[in-house]
A = this chain, B = another copy of it.
Amino acid sequence: MSITDDEARTLLRESALRATAPRLAVLRVLAEAPNPLSHTEVLECLGKTDWDPATIYRNLIKLRDAGVALVASHAHGMDRYELAHGDGHHPHFVCEGCGRVACLPAGLTASMSMEGPWATSIQNAMVQLRGECPDCLAKA
């Protein structure tokens, strides 16, 4: 997946966010990433820039707060962001070994009978399938 500069600017305008250079770059990195990325990983994807890490960090927060991105996983103590595509929620695979997070196809169906005080609180669901990724399995 990728995103054009115009698409990115439109997306930001719709969310009342200013189209700054680092913000557009973060948006592009997230759009092109096959998996959710942590702050550190976003920095790596950006390569050498003269943008402050805190700026990238704040942009991830902003995008998340605006609903443009979301935190797909907190695994291994790291927030990993992905764009909030309209394609609904999909499950993720989380490697217990290296912590990598991969998107899985949305072929999961779930039904739940929920009662009590929590029922009205539930806003969304997060499904993580966990285990050792192919790489980590190979090492062992």
User: A-side interface residues toward B, CB under 8 Å?
Assistant: 73-77, 79, 91, 93-96, 102, 104, 107-114, 117-118, 120-134, 137
Of all A-B residue pairs in the complex, the 4 with the closest CB atoms, nearest first, are A123-B131, A74-B74, A110-B110, A126-B128
Number of this chain's copies in the complex: 2
Other 15 A-B pairs with CB < 8 A, given A107-B113, A121-B132:
A74-B74, A74-B76, A77-B77, A77-B79, A107-B114, A109-B110, A109-B111, A109-B112, A117-B134, A121-B133, A121-B137, A123-B132, A126-B129, A126-B130, A128-B128
Say whether B110 contacts A96, CB under 8 Å.
no
Say whether B102 contacts A118, CB under 8 Å.
yes
Neighbour of A127 across the interface among B76, B95, B96, B127, CB < 8 A: B127
In chain B, what residue has the closest Cβ to A134?
Answer: B117
Nearest CB on B from A112, distance (A): 5
Interface-central residue, A75, A79, A114, A126, by most chain B CB under 10 Å: A126
Say whether B108 contacts A96, CB under 8 Å.
no
